[in-house]
Amino acid sequence: MNARLNAFASPVTGKLVKHLISAGKVVNDTTLPAVTQELVRIRASQINGCGGCLDMHTKEAAAAGETSLRLNLIAAWREATVFSDAERAALELTEQGTRIADAAGGVPDGVWANAAKHYDEEQLLALVSLIALINTFNRLSVILQQPAGDYQVGQFA
């Protein structure tokens, strides 16, 4: 598979991606656990069918010490016993926020309340921002058909 356009060679997209990466660093520097952040990125990327983002974030998570068992079970988190209640709340919010167009009224109050039991206000804002950012990256990559498989850990650091 070849990308439709070379987004990294474009001055416009290059600037946009740099700003998105900077926004991501703001989220990275919050108290939202790094493990939770990667779970969120992976789950949204699974839902959106973004191979490039899945390639990147599964490799980054593994390099940070995430187990293959947990990585393999993210898509089935509801049935898996390997995730904490807080991680499960973040994954549910990720799914609802990623599939926002599928539900009239957006994210259900119960999903929000469950996340709010586990995360403080700043962490919730970081979580929502992260969900928005990864969905933006997913859409760019899917529309441009960015190929997956060649990502090297730390490549965009």
pLDDT, tens digit (0-9, with 9 covering 90-100), for 44-103: 999 999 999 999 999 999 999 999 999 999 999 999 999 999 999 999 999 999 999 887
Residue 153 counted as domain residue? no
Tokens of 122: 């700043």
Instruction: Tell me how many domains the chain contains.
Output: 1
Q: Which CATH number do you get for residue 109? A: 1.20.1290.10
Residue tagged 């899917």 (tokens): 142
Q: Which domain holds residue 60?
A: 31-144
69-92 residues labelled b (16+ CB within 10 A) or e (exposed): ebbebbeebeeeeebeebbbbbbb
Separation between Cα atoms, residue 45 and residue 57, nearest integer Å: 9
Q: Is residue 56 part of a domain?
A: yes
DSSP 49-65: T-HHHHHHHHHHHHHTT
* 126 within some domain: yes
Question: Looking at the whole model, is its pTM more than 0.85?
Answer: yes
Q: Judge whether 140 lies within some domain.
A: yes
